[in-house]
Structure 1
């Protein structure tokens, strides 16, 4: 980049939150500032937001005041995408007005793509790890039921699944409760032997 950014922040949008149009960080905060919290630049299309001179910006006065506290003068926000979904924002800040050139914007888009891949990969790996952990818990719970009530693996799984559905509890949580207490959860489940 022709101008070195004073700060660069990658802010991610927590998975499952669809009501946040963008998250744009502030270089002097550990948490991102959301649209709703401070009237910051909204970005419904997921387009790049370039504020050439923070001092001249009048669309988002609360946001401008917070960013100006850090003597920030130019801001470039580039959306990070995973497919069509915006998963975060790469935010670049500098102490100089009119600091980012078209080449800088192009490089920022490349960096945002790389950050997007890293975030999407980390989220995918986290999801897989949770699924493996849940499968282990369910397997342990099934083993307890199979040994205690002389059930087949299909019968033990059916019992866990039925309890999960009847109580509107995640299967993983039902399994964890059984493992922790070594007892069948008591609410609304008939004895497993009746399912033979």
Structure 2
């Protein structure tokens, strides 16, 4: 591993991650960078775990999704366990010979064409929404200690960028929600000659009585002209 060249590429990748305009674009950049920067990596993806339900994000190959579905079905695997337990990294040097930690998953993963793999904890700020960066090789023994270090550094950068991208997306949604609620209040004020507080109270009561979120009530009013 040429660590000097790796550091230069990581610095460039870190700048690119923060420049992405969406969560999806950020994760696409992360998984593509994993294949490019980590020695032995043939495919990569992000596994999101929500109450034992798995979602695959930004897979570079269908193999990644197949592995995630298998880990969800069996409730085990290095990527699943990294997200589930909060352990920073799991690694299988040779999937075919793995007989201790993931005895149900390993032979099925080998049948998929996986030779070796690593799973890195991606973020942990939300206990109900955990994730792992997962790296795959078709060859056994493809990942060295240097590969693991490189993967962990990449995952650390990815966690920061992912958190920033999610925060930005949340802010955009909040601004959009405030805007559409304000527009709905304006419609009610004009049509029913209400004050701003009275118009908001109409939206709030309708939301509670019909068990519909306030921003959805506002959206319906703006689109259809009626509650």
Q: Same fold (TM over 0.5)?
A: yes
Gaps of 5+ in 2: 3-37
Q: 2:26: which partner in 1?
A: none
| 2:19 aligned residue | none
How far is 1:150 from its partner?
A: 0.9
Gapped regions of structure 1 (runs ≥ 5): 186-196
Matches within 5 A, 1:153-172: 153-172=196-215
CA RMSD of aligned residues (A): 3.0
Match of residue 78 from structure 1: 120
Alignment of 1:150 with 2:183, yes or no, is: no
Q: Is the 8 A contact 1:82 1:120 kept in 2?
A: no
Equivalent of residue 62 in structure 2, options 28, 40, 46: 28
Please name the residue that 2:91 is paired with: 50
Partner of 1:4: 39
CA contact (8 A) 1:74 1:97 kept: yes
- Classify 1:51/1:62 alpha carbon distance in 2 versus 1 (closer, same or farther; 3 Å): same
1:88-107 aligned within 5 A: 88-107=131-150
Residues 127-171 of structure 1 deviation map (CA, whole Å, 9 limit, x = unaligned): 112111111111111011000111111111111111111221100
Is 2:33 the partner of 1:13? no
Range that drifts further, 92-101 or 167-176: 92-101
Distance, in Å, in 2 between the alignment partners of 1:136 and 1:84 is 27
Report the 3-state secondary structure (helix = DSSP H, G, I; strand = E; otherwise coil) of the residue aligned with 2:205: helix
| Larger Cα-atom Rg | 1
CA contact (8 A) 1:23 1:89 kept: no
2:110 corresponding residue in structure 1: 68
**CA distance in structure 2 between the aligned counterparts of 1:98 and 1:30, rounded to whole angstroms:** 18
Q: State the partner residue of 2:33.
A: none
More helix by percentage: 2
2:218: which partner in 1?
Answer: 175
Matched, 1:131 2:171: no
Deviates more, 1:24-33 or 1:87-96: 24-33
Contact 2:42 2:138 (8 Å CA) reproduced: no
Normalising by structure 2, what TM-score?
0.67
Seen in structure 2, the aligned counterparts of structure 1 residues 22 and 129 have a Cα distance that, compared at 3 Å, is: closer
Query: Is the Cα contact below 8 Å between 2:95 and 2:114 reproduced in 1?
Result: yes
TM-score where L is the length of structure 1: 0.77
Return the alpha-carbon distance in structure 2 between the equivalents of residues 30 and 98 of structure 1: 18
